[in-house]
Chains A and B, each alone.
Chain A
Amino acid sequence: NAGVMQNPRHLVRRRGQEARLRCSPMKGHSHVYWYRQLPEEGLKFMVYLQKENIIDESGMPKERFSAEFPKEGPSILRIQQVVRGDSAAYFCASSRSGSPTDEQFFGPGTRLTVL
């Protein structure tokens, strides 16, 4: 059973460009979470999605960031007009159910560098 897949693993963008980060959850998991890890910091929750629904986006910046989890295909975290402060590692996690006691399995992350 493959784990959570994220691609690309490394992404370099220039200021003003768009970044698209993809996350394929584990097989059988329909709940996806995105977290951001700034250098020397812990992970910060961004958004929680189920198939075709955003459940909780309380951690998402109000502008330039969006997320989706379509019926078919991976979850996408999209950052428009990137700035240097967006440079971070972005981790996706998935779980089988939405229960708070259900383990979240993490992907290897996408490391975004904004030049």
Chain B
Amino acid sequence: AQSVTQPDIHITVSEGASLELRCNYSYGATPYLFWYVQSPGQGLQLLLKYFSGDTLVQGIKGFEAEFKRSQSSFNLRKPSVHWSDAAEYFCAVGAGNGANNLFFGTGTRLTVIP
């Protein structure tokens, strides 16, 4: 069965520092992978997605993610964090087999300090 693990519950970085949020998935075939961001009291916004092709995916707000099949990972990165990036980040994998619901990780809360 599909599953997603986000090992870091909470990460704190200084503004301007680089960021990497980890995501590991369990899936039998080539997965559909997503990163979403959730600001407090808001819904989820899609940052980027991977279906096939180039394993380095560019998203909105300066984020990128790299799909590594050998490590079953899809880590999210940003070279320089802004205070407005403070939010909850969720990695998700598509259900597969023609189904299109998503399996989400438990999320990583990002705090940005000045």
* Chain A residues proximal to chain B, CB less than 8 Å: 4, 31, 33, 35, 40-45, 48, 56, 59, 91, 93, 95, 98-109
| B102 & A104 in contact (Cβ 8 Å cutoff) | yes
How many residues of B are counted as interface, with CB atoms below 8 angstroms from the partner's CB atoms?
27
| B104 & A42 in contact (Cβ 8 Å cutoff) | yes
B30 to nearest A CB, angstroms? Answer: 11
| A100 & B46 in contact (Cβ 8 Å cutoff) | no
Q: A31, A98, A101, A107: which has the most chain B beta carbons within 10 Å?
A: A101
Closest residue on chain A to residue B105 by CB atoms: A42
CB neighbours (8 Å) of A91 from chain B are: 43-44
* Chain B residues proximal to chain A, CB less than 8 Å: 4, 6, 32, 36, 41-46, 49, 51, 90, 92, 94-96, 98-107
How many residue pairs link A and B with beta carbons under 8 A? The number is 65
CB neighbours (8 Å) of A42 from chain B are: 4, 6, 90, 104-107
In the complex where A100-B94, A100-B96, A101-B51 touch, is A109 in contact with B101 (Cβ < 8 A)? no
